[in-house]
Chain A
Amino acid sequence: MNTGNPIPVAAIVLHPADSVAVCRRNVAAGEALPLEGELVVARADVALGHKIARCFIPLGAVVVKYGIAIGSATKDIHPGDWVHLHNLKSNYISSHVRDSEEQTT
């Protein structure tokens, strides 16, 4: 696919301080993504609109998107990891999903 090809960029970094990027298209595990000059290899399939980690985010640290804390890591997150309900929780109100796979707060 676009592996190794910087154009079009598969994921976008919304703010320089962000620890995650947002996928512009479905990304397959193993793909190497150029993110603001650094190459990050996807460790899982990540769908359009979903987040991929740019750097190591230790358990309990805040995850940053738009330059804003969007919640805390519930386990260690490695560069290239898919970041979603399984490793990120709200610091406000838990997120409810259809199959009641609720986050614990």
Chain B
Amino acid sequence: MIANGYLRADGRKGIRNVTAVIYLVECAHHVARRVVELAQDDDVHLLGFPGCYPNEYSLRMMKALATHPNVGGVVLVSLGCEGFNREALASNIEASGRPVRTVVIQQAGGTRSGIETALAAVKQVREEMIRAERRVPMHFSDLVVGTICGGSDGTSGIAANPAVGRAFDRLVDAGASCLFEETGEMIGCEGAMSTRAASPEVAEAIVASIHNAEKYYRAMGYGSFAPGNAEGGLSTLEEKSAGAYVKSGSRAINGVIRPAQQPDAPGLYLLDVVPDTAPKFGFPNISDNSEIVELMACGAHLTLFTTGRGSVVGSAIAPVIKITGNPETYALMSEDMDIDAGRVLEGKSTLDEVGDDIFNLVVSVASGALSKSESLGHREFVLTYKSIDAVGPACHPTRA
């Protein structure tokens, strides 16, 4: 079972107790980064949004991230004249029962005094977090797990991704919530996926989200199938898509959610990240970490990251577990890789055995053990502009 979690006022439970230092515009980035460096505490993490102009999506995302179950308290660092609605964010965090301080650099007297004020605020917030700390038993029904892939190669679709699918099946059966995404890389799977829908409404939402992704990527002039894919043995777009889709396992799909929407009931969910509008602000997600950030905003306590070529990234707030299906990558980058799914290709293990290893590691990391990227100090975070409705054709059941 999972070790005790950190109970939050909304009833959710965290697997970490992070103090988030959040800069609200790039102009406040240096002050916030120095505060995190000077705090010399692995549980003080840096988050931020670089833009000056307000954006409904980034405010919604920051509200969800600052009240993520792994976050216990927050210090906001503002320059003072940026467009970000810091008052709305601060009152939202306060309403969640978390300690929060806002430091405005222009009011504090500049860089040096801004750093001093914010560092003192971090110390106060951490003291309040320790006083308020409540550890309670955590069950699978309290746990949310996301998955993505990055730096994929020919082994991803046959070793690491199906092994994660096996782990997802075990997690869903145990009562956890599991989130998968990348609708733009699942074109061709909508038929198979909709047969797994828990209701006709969910089936309709799945098909609509994939058709929308197809339309959006076509308008962007971006196609997913590259010549290297055929050289590696992939023949069609839908075959490549199926390789990404198998991360979702085989259980019923309970619903379709949008970024910063948290599922109310356990089960398996598709996270739809593609806007309904014509392309605006560029790609739906600019890098793997922006996908991880959206999974976190939907409540993911940790992320299962499959890779072939060997990604090294981790994340602020929520641990990342790295799974590679490529034996050479594992040999070369074993310090960064948590799970060697390449054993399946070498005939040393079955997919079920690797799936069990992933499941057991999820329990151990949720119980406090550090993943490899965490212990190496990876705390990446990226949030950029986006235009997406809070609720699109999405639908999800509520807890009975």
Contact = CB atoms under 8 A, between A and B. Distances in A.
A49 B232 contact: yes
Contacts of B233: 22-23, 47-51, 84
Those 6 A-B pairs whose CB atoms lie nearest each other, nearest first: A8-B347, A49-B233, A50-B233, A70-B239, A90-B236, A49-B154
Interface stretch (A35-43, A53-61, A93-101): A93-101
A51 B232 CA distance: 10
B225 interface: yes
| B-side interface size class | 20 to 34
A79 interface: no
Contacts, number: 94
Given A14-B158, A66-B243, A92 B235 contact: no
Interface string B131-174: 00000000000000000000000110110001000000000000
B154 A48 contact: yes
B189 A92 contact: no
Contact of B347 (A7, A66, A98): A7
A31 to B, nearest CB: 15
B234 to A, nearest CB: 8
Interface string B207-227: 000000000000000010101
Given A14-B158, A92-B187, A83 B242 contact: no
Contacts of B26: none
Contacts of A83: 235
Given A90-B237, A92-B238, 19 more contacts: A7-B347, A9-B347, A12-B158, A14-B158, A14-B246, A22-B158, A24-B347, A49-B154, A49-B155, A66-B243, A70-B238, A71-B236, A84-B230, A85-B235, A88-B235, A88-B236, A89-B236, A90-B238, A95-B237
Contact of B230 (A22, A66, A92, A97): A97
Interface residues of A, number: 33
Contact of B242 (A24, A66, A98): A66
A85 B162 CA distance: 24
B344 interface: yes
25 contacts: A12-B158, A14-B158, A14-B246, A24-B347, A47-B233, A48-B233, A49-B154, A49-B233, A66-B242, A66-B245, A66-B246, A67-B192, A68-B192, A69-B191, A70-B235, A70-B242, A71-B236, A84-B233, A88-B236, A91-B238, A92-B236, A92-B237, A93-B225, A96-B225, A96-B227
Contacts of A93: 223, 225, 237
B345 interface: yes
Contacts of B245: 66, 68
B246 A71 contact: no
